A and B are shown apart, each in its own frame.
Chain A
Amino acid sequence: MEQESTVDLYLPEVCIANILSRTSARDACRFSVVSSVFQFVVNSDSVWERFLPSDYQQILSSSVSPFPFVFSSKKELYFHLCDNPVLIDNGTKTFALDKCSGKKCYMIGAKELSICAIYNPMGWIWQSSSESRFSEVVESRMLGRLEVSGRMETQLLSPNTTYVAYLVIKFTDSASGFDYTLAKVSVKLASNGGGEREMRVVSLKPVGRQKRQLELVHRRIADFLRRLRPPDAADQQLPPPQYPQVPRERGDGWFEIELGEFFNEKGEDGDVEMSLMEINVRGHKCGLIIQGIELRPKKVE
């Protein structure tokens, strides 16, 4: 059998499968056009079994509803998991795969996040949402301070991977009070002793409002940064004003704000804590919908 299939190439299929399984899903798919042997091997379960996380069966077993599909191949399962996040852990998280790397992606639903004043019915209201991965999302009503944080065990994430955390949000048509809202975002690993590793300022301004407003926000940022400087550096040149990141469209009807990134080496760093804290609290904010915090591997070029 092995002899027959190695017309031009004398390596048996099992060796080719072994080699291809150490490349990536992207490489393997492209290599299917190399020859008929490659095409056969690329579609084999032994290759895709290695692209799937080693504990994928265990993860899927915590799926909320019994897994609805029977897959004809591991390749089919792989691509299904890339495009269709699965609700796990009693519906509090979703699990998916990053298409290029096969690494694990999670979203922690709003129910699992700590949100300031979440029990105040004037501040937040829970509502069911068909546009969300979760059964419920939370919308701000007459919110004072915006503070959101979430935790994830690094042990659950893929090792040797830089992850980026995003707050996934949306604004209602009548959203107000966010135009000048600035927040600091941070990502902390428990193993770092809880020290802040990264701190950035982001704007929560709903995208697409007038430019004049944006300029005002920029001026406020410059003021904020000026105040952050130590006094003895007063006569040094100010850095050019940094434009804060604004919510970015995801392509699924939601927006996201990057909270920061961290390197997960062996999953031995305990919990990672991701947060967004408003810094210039003023007025009431309504119409912000929070879906959750998503963790995805950083894209590598």
Chain B
Amino acid sequence: MSSTKIFLKSSDDKTFEIDETAARASETLKNIIDGGCLDGVIPLPNVSSNILPKVIEYCKKHGGDNGSSKKIANGGVDKDKEILPDYDEEEDKREKVRVDELKKWEEEYMDFDQQVLYDLMLAANYLHIKGLLDLTVEKAASMIRGRTPDQIRENFNINSDFTPEEEEEMILIEDEWDDEWAFD
């Protein structure tokens, strides 16, 4: 596997270096590389220099090894394993250690504030890095499960854009929903 260097330019004109194998964790970058459109530096107008290193860190960990993120997503279960003829327990144990190690790494990696979370989600969405998108979306979902609409507005920094009349209607809808579910 070649380790050609690729250069990425952030929205604020800073250049970062990444191995080609790592860059392939991103569908978008992979298409640019495979399409032969590589012309020196790849500009990423939607990703700032705060976020790009974080993205590169993820790609380095997962680049050229798309399987590992998939295993995490499946809760560490690798269904293909059963049909491998040279399946043995030692290999299974090593795999388990690897998955545990990766989970721990992801936990530490994901330790940042909310602003970074949403910026990273946007970058993952833009660069089509499925594993990173799953991680960030799952974290965002875990932060809003079971919350009230008011808490959500606060969480996402949203002001309700309904008119006062609509707002009143919304409160009615909200109450109706509460009744609907409470009935169960």
Q: Which of A's residues lie within 8 Å of B, judged by CB?
A: 7-12, 14-15, 18-20, 22-24, 26-27, 29-38, 99-100, 299
Contact = CB atoms under 8 A, between A and B. Distances in A.
Contact of A15 (B122, B152, B153, B160): B122
Nearest to A299: B184
A99 B149 CA distance: 20
Contacts of B22: none
B162 A19 contact: no
A11 B156 contact: yes
A31 B184 contact: no
The 9 closest A-B pairs by CB, nearest first: A22-B141, A33-B170, A8-B158, A19-B140, A18-B137, A33-B149, A34-B149, A34-B152, A9-B158
Contacts of B148: 30
A10 B146 CA distance: 23
Contacts of B152: 31, 34, 38
Contact of B149 (A23, A30, A36, A299): A30
Interface of B: 118, 121-122, 125, 133, 137-138, 140-141, 144-149, 152-153, 156-162, 170-171, 173-174, 177-178, 180-181, 184
Given A18-B133, A19-B137, A29-B181, 17 more contacts: A8-B157, A9-B158, A10-B122, A11-B118, A19-B141, A23-B145, A24-B145, A30-B148, A30-B174, A31-B144, A31-B152, A34-B160, A35-B158, A35-B159, A36-B162, A37-B158, A37-B161
B161 A27 contact: no
Contacts, number: 81
A27 B162 contact: no
A8 B159 contact: yes
B173 A22 contact: no
Of A8, A23, A27, A34, the most chain B CB neighbours within 10 A belong to A34
A45 B158 CA distance: 23
Given A18-B137, A19-B137, A19-B141, A8 B174 contact: no
Of B147, B161, B178, B180, the most chain A CB neighbours within 10 A belong to B161
A12 B162 CA distance: 19
Contacts of A14: 125
A22 B133 CA distance: 13
Contacts of B149: 30-31, 33-34
A24 B141 CA distance: 10
Contact of B181 (A19, A33, A100): A100
